[in-house]
Amino acid sequence: MIMELLLLLFLGIGAWQDLKEKRIYLWVIILWTTMGIVLRILEFAGESHEYGGILAGMGIGGILFLLSLLGGQVGTGDGLAVAVMGLYLGFWDTLSVFFGASILAGITGMALCLLFHWKRNARIPFLPFLLVMNVIRIAAGG
């Protein structure tokens, strides 16, 4: 339960920063990563079978981070935030939240282009979509 609350707080703070300033502060990423690592160490205390899923979940964010460095449409903070989310959720939940957020962001982007004549390459903050999809995941019992 503490992991869920911390992740919601992280995504809430990150979504606010992403909406207001189009960036996510590195200290937030570092703080939540540190807390997640400490909590995971305390939670597993000798069990190693869960680490693979956590590392794979963080790997999704790692791939996004690398894509951001190659000049893609993904922001560096988005990749780092998904990596933090992977630390808290593991692979499958991170993948489902990321996939749902991507679809929701795509639909929102199309609606903004069609209804408000936004340019096709306009940047839309991604963390609010991660927050919404994580809330839906929790509400659905995930």
Model pLDDT for residues 90-139, shown as the tens digit of each residue: 999 999 999 999 999 999 988 988 888 877 777 889 999 999 999 999 99
Q: How do the domains of the chain map onto residue ranges?
A: 2-139
In the chain, what percentage of residues exceed pLDDT 90?
Answer: 71
pTM to 2 decimal places:
0.90
Structure tokens at 14: 């990150």
Model pLDDT for residues 45-92, shown as the tens digit of each residue: 656 557 888 999 999 999 999 998 998 778 899 999 999 999 999 999
